[in-house]
Amino acid sequence: MAVSAMDVLIPGCSATREIIMTKLRYLAIPTSEARAIQAGAADAYGKAAETRISDGDGLPCRHCLKMIAAGEPYLVLAYRPFSSIQPYAETGPIFLHAQPCEAASSERAPDMLISPDYIVRGYGADERIVYGTGGVVQTSDIESRSIELLARDDVAFIHVRSARNNCYQCRIESA
Q: How confident is the model at residue 105 (pLDDT cuts 50, 70, 90)?
A: confident
Could you report the per-residue pLDDT of 63-72, keeping only the tens digit for each? 999 999 999 9
Question: Across the chain, what does the average pLDDT equal?
Answer: 90
Q: How confident is the model at residue 168 (pLDDT cuts 50, 70, 90)?
A: very high
For the chain, give every domain's residue range: 4-27+106-173
Instruction: Say how far apart CA 104 and CA 28 lie, in whole Å.
Output: 6
13, pLDDT greater than 70: no
Instruction: Say how far apart CA 61 and CA 12 lie, in whole Å.
Output: 38
14, pLDDT greater than 50: no
CB-based contacts of 97, cutoff 8 Å, min separation 6:
38, 61, 63, 64, 68, 72, 73, 74, 75
Instruction: Say how far apart CA 76 and CA 98 lie, in whole Å.
Output: 9
8, pLDDT greater than 80: no
Q: Find the angle CA(1)-CA(109)-CA(21) to the nearest 5 degrees.
A: 50
Instruction: Say how far apart CA 23 and CA 96 lie, in whole Å.
Output: 27
What is the structure's pLDDT at 86? 94
147, pLDDT greater than 80: yes
4, pLDDT greater than 60: no
**Which sign does the torsion angle of CA 133, 164, 162, 144 carry?**
negative
Indicate the range of 11-15, 100-104, 158-162 predicted with least confidence: 11-15
Q: pLDDT exceeding 90 applies to what percent of the chain?
A: 84
Instruction: Say how far apart CA 93 and CA 91 lie, in whole Å.
Output: 7
Q: How confident is the model at residue 21 (pLDDT cuts 50, 70, 90)?
A: low
State mean pLDDT over 122-148.
97
16, pLDDT greater than 80: no
Could you report the per-residue pLDDT of 116-134, keeping only the tens digit for each? 999 999 999 999 999 999 9
State mean pLDDT over 81-94.
95
